[in-house]
Chains A and B, each alone.
Chain A
Amino acid sequence: MDEIESINEASSTPLVSQLYPISHLNTIFPPSSPFRPQISTLSSTFTSLRIIKGDGSCFYRAFLYAILTSLLTSPPSVLHRLTTYIKTSLSLLGDAGYSKDALEMFHDEFVELLEVTVKDCREKGGQEGMDGIHKVMTEEGGSAEYCCWYMRPLCSLQLKSDPKYSSFLPSSYSDISDFCKREVEPTGRECDQLQVIALAEAFEARVEVSYVDGHDKEGKVTKHTFGEGTDGLMVNVMYRPGHYDLLYP
């Protein structure tokens, strides 16, 4: 755990790193690390990765990054679908008791991100388009940060929208609202599986999580897939205790 914390806690760490070859993980986990066998397995499935800053919002940020880059090459209908989802969400959140005064600005930035930045990056295409997304996603205090804040109430709203989520609720929470108040909405509270499922379903994305826990000497990596992603929105992440990073096949 110390090695994970030391690379992620530094204030100079970018919110999202450059694209590293998958072998970069060998510099994070020394040969003696119990994580190494699973890292070797990952290296045969994935070619590269991006390290996400470990400030408690890493899944939200990784998810948004993957969605935005996915939108660069997906059919226009997907961008349209997501823009409609975000645009209609503000009044739904207001109806659910959230403060529109607080959320309006974050909502507006999200719409702007999709309608202006993503559109512009799609037109540029290729590496230039990717660089545009990278720039907006790595700006400290920028609009991507607002969007990550906004994704927390969106996640809550999804969890409260369907009683099926309550059946996964750990017994230490009195109900789903209690869970959202304590585990979803506060800044810096990391995503557990329930939040990952809710976000995948809310955004209609397919999220693949490769679990690297250091417990398998044979190097077997457990993989879970959440959400359908029928129109091609894909998010690939590696989970190590308390942290998510982005993976690329």
Chain B
Amino acid sequence: MASTNSSTKSKSSARALKSPHLAQPLSPTSSNYRLQQELRSFLLSPPPDLKVSVGRNLRIWHVKLTGRNVYEGEVFTLRIKYSNTYPRDPPSVYFVGDNIPEHEHVYSNGDICLSLLGSGWSPNLTGQGIAVSIQSILNSAGRKCRPIDNSGSVGRKPGESQKDWIYHDDNC
């Protein structure tokens, strides 16, 4: 078992390090240093059921999230975009694609009602930390449903600043 793990890990490490964003040695003085560090950790040791991919732009990540419990067998895609003011401001995070999870904190336009993306943001959080929090609210759901005020999100552009959102409880 241990050897399987380590061989999987070394294979994924090798693949991770081929990412063009990590091909150059990381330099603490680069403005992308923090994001490169975050990406490196996410690629090298991804949490269970989460897989990050990055295209040409280091500031846009797609995270594949494999659902559990009521979402067993479903795969969702989170889009995380880091602005130039990250980490002072939170990244823009929402679900994309045809399958938007049916959850009481997830609007059908892909927006996620999560205080960490608005008034609860801290520069000490990371993109991976946000993805894990979203995974946790999905996996702890007892049933599938949309937010009560979902109709207001239809046609709304997802991923806009949640600065003025009012959250109903600790999470949303």
- Give residues in A with beta carbon < 8 Å to B: 98-99, 101-106, 108, 141, 145, 149-150, 152-153, 178, 181-182, 185-188
Contact = CB atoms under 8 A, between A and B. Distances in A.
Contacts of B140: none
29 contacts: A98-B124, A99-B38, A99-B125, A99-B129, A101-B34, A101-B38, A101-B41, A101-B126, A102-B38, A102-B124, A102-B126, A103-B124, A104-B37, A108-B28, A145-B88, A149-B122, A149-B123, A149-B124, A153-B124, A178-B170, A181-B120, A181-B170, A185-B122, A186-B120, A186-B121, A187-B88, A187-B122, A187-B123, A188-B119
Nearest to A108: B28
A235 B69 CA distance: 52
Given A99-B126, A101-B126, A102-B38, A187 B33 contact: no
B28 A105 contact: yes
A113 to B, nearest CB: 15
The SS class assigned to the B binding surface is: loop
Most buried by B among A98, A101, A181, A185: A101
Given A108-B28, A141-B88, A102 B170 contact: no
B159 interface: no
A186 B170 CA distance: 12
A98 B122 CA distance: 12
Contact of A152 (B33, B88, B120, B122): B122
Contacts of B124: 98-99, 102-103, 106, 149-150, 152-153, 185
B87 interface: yes
Nearest to A105: B34
A178 B41 CA distance: 26
Given A182-B170, A185-B124, A186-B120, A105 B88 contact: no
B123 A106 contact: yes
Q: Sorted from nearest, which 4 A-B pairs have the closest CB atoms?
A: A185-B122, A101-B37, A149-B123, A99-B126
A178 B171 CA distance: 12
Interface in B1-57: 28, 33-34, 37-38, 41
B61 to A, nearest CB: 14
Contacts of B34: 101-102, 105
A182 B123 CA distance: 14
Contacts of A181: 120, 170
